[in-house]
Structure 1
Amino acid sequence: MGSERPQTSSSFVSPSIYHVFLSFRGEDTRKTFTDQLYVALVGAGWRTFKDDNEIERGENINTELENAIIRSRSSIIIISKNYATSTWCLDELVKILEHKRTKGHAILPVFYHVDPSEVKHQKKSFAEAFTRYERQIEAESDEGKKEWMDKVGKWRAALGEVADLGGVTVNNQGDRKSEAKAIKEKKEKEERQGEIKSE
């Protein structure tokens, strides 16, 4: 991809199509790995969407992020220890996988200091997150129970599905710039192989 392409990001959704949507847990990786990956992608000419909004958000994914996912050709999903503690991240994941099934949206999961089996079977920190969601179900009224049960079912299925896609596992404490560069190069290889169509 040529460097003449706009190197845009952030939470503004332009009419143009993004090459990559980044899904990540801000408290885990925003200022570290995700920032390094974003810099590497933009430096390679990829129009990349990274939500820079750090304020407290509501329970449901907003229209802006839905539009960004729809307007992106692919997503990199950085699944870290606290990813499942965010209903926002889980809703993003569900939306990304829906877009994959309906539009052929390409996905590259990055398992950041977590094992894919923990994600697939919701173990360790993922089990703790879902224990809290189960308690939320118990605390709800009958109508609220159904809504939360539906949500939790979708989230569990989405984590199982994304874990089965394979991807990249980052477990060492090495140079984050090198790790981010390696993932960027994997995306470039996918494009050359035609998995992500460029303009």
Structure 2
Amino acid sequence: MDVSSCSSKIYDVFLSFRGPDVRKSFADCLYHGLKDAGISVFRDEEELPVREPIHPKLVQAIQQSKISMPIFSRDYASSKSCLMEMQQMLDCQRTGDHFILPIFFDIGPSVVKDQIGTFRNSFRKHERNGVDPEKISMWKYALEKIGHLKGWDLQNIENG
């Protein structure tokens, strides 16, 4: 990846989440709270043009964000798109001008960093469905690195 591709910032925050898990609940509240505070937020529902390829636009949005906030839910790892986003976040963090602030919604950080429980099951499905083993290895590495970052473990915060 070209290091300069992560340098031009348009968004303050990129939200990454598995839609069926948190779109109409936590992610929606977080999005509106950030927007109401004057923070520029990328969320796929508002920012992606209809009828355009999703993958390149998501990669570009992550590169153009100062902060990425992956909202890890039980089925986050079942989404190849979420895993691709997370890999891109880590790539941009390596340039030194991108920060990742993970939110552990209904799972603990150990599920993410160790790929246990539902994450292990999701990776087994990806393997059975023929996803390239090298790609799976990169996703697991990114999850391990991001899972070690200090974030918000909502299970340990009063009223989550």
**TM-score normalised according to structure 2 size:** 0.85
Map residues 21-36 of structure 1 onto 2, 5 A cutoff: 21-36=14-29
Contact 1:121 1:160 in 2 (8 A): yes
Contact 2:9 2:66 in 1 (8 A): no
Distance 1:173 1:162, change over 3 A: closer
Distance 1:153 1:82, change over 3 A: same
The answer for the alignment partner of 1:170 in structure 2 is 154
Map residues 101-116 of structure 1 onto 2, 5 A cutoff: 101-116=94-109
Aligned alpha-carbon RMSD (Å): 2.1
Distance 1:168 1:72, change over 3 A: same
Deviation at 1:104, TM superposition (A): 2.4
Equivalent AA in structure 1 for residue 123 of structure 2: F
Match of 1:154 among 119, 129, 138: 138
Q: Distance in 2 between matches of 1:92 and 1:50?
A: 12
The answer for the alignment partner of 1:96 in structure 2 is 89
The aligned length equals: 147
Deviation at 1:136, TM superposition (A): 2.5
The answer for the alignment partner of 1:82 in structure 2 is 75
Deviation at 1:134, TM superposition (A): 2.0
Deviation at 1:165, TM superposition (A): 0.7
Does the residue aligned with 1:102 lie in a helix, a strand or coil? coil
The answer for the alignment partner of 1:69 in structure 2 is 62
Q: Distance in 2 between matches of 1:148 and 1:120?
A: 20
Equivalent AA in structure 2 for residue 163 of structure 1: G
Structure 1 gaps, min length 5: 1-14, 54-59, 138-146, 180-199
Contact 2:9 2:63 in 1 (8 A): no
Contact 1:23 1:75 in 2 (8 A): yes
Equivalent AA in structure 2 for residue 106 of structure 1: F
Deviation at 1:161, TM superposition (A): 0.5
Question: Following TM superposition, where does structure 1 have runs of at least 4 consecutive aligned residues deviating by more than 3 angstroms?
Answer: 172-175
**TM-score normalised according to structure 1 size:** 0.69
Work out which of the two has the higher radius of gyration on C-alpha atoms and give 1 or 2. Answer: 1
User: C-alpha deviations, 1:37-76, integer Å up to 9, x for none?
Assistant: 00110111100001117xxxxxx96111111111111111
User: C-alpha deviations, 1:131-190, integer Å up to 9, x for none?
Assistant: 1122223xxxxxxxxx70111001100110100112000127975xxx5xxxxxxxxxxx
Contact 2:11 2:42 in 1 (8 A): yes
Contact 2:15 2:71 in 1 (8 A): yes
Distance 1:16 1:167, change over 3 A: closer
Percent identity between matched residues is: 40
